[in-house]
Structure 1
Amino acid sequence: MASAKDRILDSFEDILIKEGERAATMDAVAAAAGVSKGGLLYHFPSKEAMVEGLCARLAALTAEDAEKIGKAPEGAARYYVRTSLYVDSPLDRAIVAVARLVQQGHPAAAQTFAHIEGLWLDALEKALGSRPVAQAIKLMGDGLYYSATFFAAADQPAKVSEAELEALLEQVDALVERI
């Protein structure tokens, strides 16, 4: 069973994803997490503390993912693009929730996004040995992710089929081979 702190962050994340930042009040999060308001305040004395907690979660999940980039048996570029489809993973959920906070102007969320973007780009550059190629791969993956999150939000299947993804990965391979 998840700790109260994790349940609170999970609930905050879920409300942000489904209903947006305005609906993510302290009372709503406490109710969704099944804790008293005092219990919520014990772990997170303010909404900004919950934002910081969610940002820390995203940073940790991204650091784990950035490590996988360099170790991926299929190669860093293929790994990044292949994992850029929204699958409702803990990382996906944290990204979408923090993106909602960025849209509302939360400085901690914006700083976290800048940090995670840098982590992924640096990991790709280190693995590929070329910043411009790393940027191109990252932009391909980001475009897939952007598209996939909108389809997921509308409860529609991903726009990119397995065959289309494989064809795109062949182009990724061709780009990487040019380095």
Structure 2
Amino acid sequence: MASARDRVLDAYETLLIETGPGAATLDAVAAAANVSKGGLLYHFASKDALAAGLLARLRERSASDADAIRAADGATAYYLRTSAPGGGIPGGLTRTYLAALRVAEHARDATAVRDALAAVDADALGALRDRLGDPVLAWMVQLVGDGLYLRTLIGTPLPEGLSVDDLLARLRPQLPAES
């Protein structure tokens, strides 16, 4: 069972994604998490603290995903498949990332949000660079994954008749054997 802190962050993510930052009040988050407002305030003393908790969660999930990229049998395939619509990055990174984008819309400290999003970008690029050994190739793979990820975030399917396997088939001649 999820801790009260995780339930609060889950509820905050849901409200941000489904109704937007304006509707994600402390009262609404507490109600959605099925905790008292005092219980919410125990973990997050303010809305800014709640946003900071979300950004900390984003960084944790990003670091876990970078570890998964490094450990994957086929880092490029893992990265592109989990970036594509329906691919689903394990651990909720996509959902937390989308919620963080919504926080950015109304953040008092936009720098903290930009820094967290930049850390996600750097985590993935670093993991790809580690596995591919070529910084330009790693960046190219990341850019392809970014395009797929954007489709995931906005709900756009892949073009009819094309798949991630088609992308991988074109990229494989450029990739080291175990990437």
TM-score, normalised with respect to structure 2: 0.88
The alpha carbon displacement at 1:17 in A equals 0.8
Preserved CA contact (<8 Å) 1:98 1:109: yes
The alpha carbon displacement at 1:136 in A equals 0.4
Deviations 1:37-58 (A, max 9, x none): 1111111000111111111111
Preserved CA contact (<8 Å) 1:16 1:97: yes
The alpha carbon displacement at 1:174 in A equals 2.2
- For residues 58 and 66 of structure 1, the distance between their equivalents in structure 2, rounded to whole angstroms, comes to 12
The alpha carbon displacement at 1:61 in A equals 1.0
Preserved CA contact (<8 Å) 1:78 1:173: no
- For residues 162 and 101 of structure 1, the distance between their equivalents in structure 2, rounded to whole angstroms, comes to 35
Deviations 1:42-79 (A, max 9, x none): 11000111111111111111111101112211x22121
Deviations 1:118-164 (A, max 9, x none): 11111111111111111100000010010122117xxxxx3356852
The alpha carbon displacement at 1:177 in A equals 4.8
- For residues 125 and 176 of structure 2, the distance between their equivalents in structure 1, rounded to whole angstroms, comes to 18
The alpha carbon displacement at 1:86 in A equals 4.1
Preserved CA contact (<8 Å) 1:55 1:109: yes
Q: CA RMSD in A?
A: 1.9
Preserved CA contact (<8 Å) 2:132 2:176: no
- The size of the alignment, in residue pairs, is 172
The alpha carbon displacement at 1:113 in A equals 0.4
Preserved CA contact (<8 Å) 2:85 2:158: no
TM-score, normalised with respect to structure 1: 0.88
Q: Which residue of 2 aligns with 1:155?
A: none
- From 128, 141, 157, give the equivalent of 1:137: 141
> Structure 2: where are the runs of 5+ without partners?
none
Preserved CA contact (<8 Å) 2:84 2:164: no
| Identical pairs, percent | 42
> Structure 1: where are the runs of 5+ without partners?
153-157
